Amino acid sequence: MLSAGQLIWASCRPLIRLALCAGSGFAITKADIFPQVAAQGAGQIILNITLPCLMFSKIVPAFDASNIKALGPLVLVAILYEIIGVVIAWTVKQFFWVPHRFRFGILVAGGWGNYGDIPTSVVMSITGAAPFNGASDQTLSVAYISAFILVFFMTLFPLGGHAWIAMDFSGPDIENEEVQETMRAKQKSLLSGAWARSALHTLRYRGRTSQGVARFDLADQEDVGASDSSALEKAEEKRENNAYPRATPAPKHVSFYHDDHEAITSATETVVVSPPISMYAGPSRLPSPTPSLLPLEKTITPGDQLADDIAHARVLNRREKTVQFTLTFLRSLLAPGSSVIIIALIIALVPTLKALFVAGVPGTHIPNAPDGLPPLNFILDTTTFIGAASVPLGLVSLGSALARLKVPRGQWGQLPIGAICGLAVGKVLIMPVLGVLICEGLTRVGVIDKEDKVLQFVCIFFSCLPTATTQVYLTQVYSGTGSAEHLSAFLIPQYILMFISMTGLTAYSIQYLF
C-alpha cells in the first residue's frame, strides 16, 4: 500500500518527463531551429523505423501462449473507446455549432486519441518502477500498447476513418454566421418540441402510405389471379380509356406516390402485368386497328433498358469500390507499423521461431550463436536499440506540432467555444470515468484477467488520451492549403487538461490495483 506522497509522486513523475521532452521540441520550433520540413522527416522516421522497431522488440519477448488471450480484451477496449469518443463528439456537435470545415473532423478528434508517444512514455515509466515488477512488466505493457496502436492504424486508414477529414473539404465553404444561425434554429426547434411533432407527423404519414400500398398490392394480386377472359376485358377497357383520355388523369394508383413520374410508372406497370403475355406476341393477336398498346411498348422498353443500365452501373460501381477498399486495406497492412506488429505476433506465438530470438523458450532445442545467445538475437538487440529513440523523438515532434498551432488572438468571440469546451471535457474528463467503469465491468465478468495488473492499468490509462496529433498532418494534407486552423483551437485545451486528468487517473489506477 503506497502512501499519499508516494502515490502523487508516482503519478506526476512520468508527466514531468513528458512535459520536459515535449517542451524541448516546442522551444526549438519557436527558435526556428526545427523547421517544418525537419519535423515531417522526424515523423516519417518515427512511423517507419523507430516505432516498428520498438513494437517488435517488446512484442516478441512479451507475448506467448499463456497471455495472448489478453489481445482480445485489448482490441475490444480500443474499439469501444473509439466508438464512445465518436459518440461524445457527435453529441457535442448536436448542441454546439462547429465550423463547416470541421464538421466531420470533430468526429475524428473525438474517436482517435494519441495512442503513440504519450501513453508509451507514461506507461513505460510507471510499470518500470514499484509497485509493478520492473523490466518484465515494462516490456509487457509496451506489448499491450501495440494492440491499441494496431487498432488505431486499422480503423483510421484501411477502414476509412481518415475519409471523414477529407469530407470536410469537399464542396463549397459555408460562413460561420450561417452555421451559427442554423444551429440557433435547431436549438429553438429542440426547445419548442417542434421536432417531436414533426416526427409524429412523419410516422402518421408513413402509416397511411404503407396501408395504401398494401391495398394497392392486394388489388394487383387479384388482377394477376383473374381468368384470361376477365384479363382481356380489363385490357380492352384500358385501351379504350387510353384512346379517349379524360381531362384529368384518374388512375387509382397515383394517390400513393409523390410525383407524376412515379404515378405514370405505376400505371404503366399495371397495364403490362394485368393482361396475359400472349397479348403482346404480335399484331395478329390483336386485330383492332387502335394502336393504343404500341406506344406503351415503346415507352416501357427504353425505361426497362435504362433501369437495366442503372442496375448494371451500380453493380460495377459496387465492385470497383470493393476492389479499391481491398487494395487500400492490403496496402495499409503492408505498411511498416502494421506489418511489423503482425509479424512480431506470429513469431511470439510460434515457439520454434521465438527461440531464434529469445533464449529459454520451453520445448525448443536450437543451437546458440558463438556468443551463447540465440542465432537471431542480434536482430532483437538492434530493434531494441533503434526503438529506444521512438518515445523521445515522438515527444519532441509532439511539442513541435503544438508550437505550430496558430492560436487566434483577439478572435475568441468568433471561435466555437461551446464545442471546444464540450469536446475537451468529454474527451479528457468524462471519458476516463467511462473507461474506469468499462474496465471494472469487464474485469468483473471475466473478460479482463483480474490477476493481470498490467493489462488493467493499460486499458484504464488509454481512456484519458487527448486527440492524436496525426490529425494535424492529415488535415494539412486534405485542406490543400497546408493549414489546420480549426483543429488547433480544439487540441490545445485537451492537452492542458490532460495533465490534470492523467495524474488523477494514474493515482486512482495504482490505488485500485494495489
CATH number for position 164: 1.20.1530
Kindly state whether residues 36 and 183 are assigned to the same domain.
yes
Per-residue pLDDT at 145: 95
For residue 508, is it within any domain? yes
For residue 361, is it within any domain? no
- Of 273, 212, 263, 214, nearest to 238 by C-alpha is 273
Per-residue pLDDT at 205: 61
Q: What is the mean pLDDT of each run of 10 residues along the chain (514 residues)?
A: 77 90 94 90 90 93 90 96 97 94 96 92 91 91 94 88 91 89 84 65 62 48 45 46 44 39 38 41 44 48 67 77 82 85 93 93 90 94 95 91 77 84 96 97 95 96 94 85 81 93 94 90
Kindly state whether residues 148 and 282 are assigned to the same domain.
no
pTM of this structure? 0.73
Kindly state whether residues 155 and 265 are assigned to the same domain.
no
Per-residue pLDDT at 505: 95
Kindly state whether residues 217 and 344 are assigned to the same domain.
no
For residue 8, is it within any domain? no
For residue 80, is it within any domain? yes
Kindly state whether residues 61 and 154 are assigned to the same domain.
yes
Per-residue pLDDT at 345: 93
For residue 69, is it within any domain? yes
- Count of structural domains within the chain: 3
* Whole-angstrom distance, CA of residue 40 vs CA of residue 43: 5
Kindly state whether residues 64 and 145 are assigned to the same domain.
yes
Tell me whether residue 256 is exposed, middle or buried, using C-beta atoms within 10 angstroms of its C-beta: 0 to 12, 13 to 18, 19 or more.
middle
Q: Give me the phi and psi of 467, to 5 degrees please.
A: -60, 145
Kindly state whether residues 343 and 483 are assigned to the same domain.
yes
Three cell numbers written together for 264: 405514370
Per-residue pLDDT at 218: 44
Kindly state whether residues 174 and 200 are assigned to the same domain.
no
For residue 10, is it within any domain? no
For residue 237, is it within any domain? yes
For residue 465, is it within any domain? yes
Express the helix, strand and coil content of the chain in percent, nearest 5 each: 75, 0, 25
Kindly state whether residues 430 and 462 are assigned to the same domain.
yes
Kindly state whether residues 28 and 93 are assigned to the same domain.
yes
Kindly state whether residues 312 and 274 are assigned to the same domain.
no
Q: Structural domain of residue 69, as residue ranges?
A: 21-190+335-349+377-407+416-513
Kindly state whether residues 216 and 319 are assigned to the same domain.
no
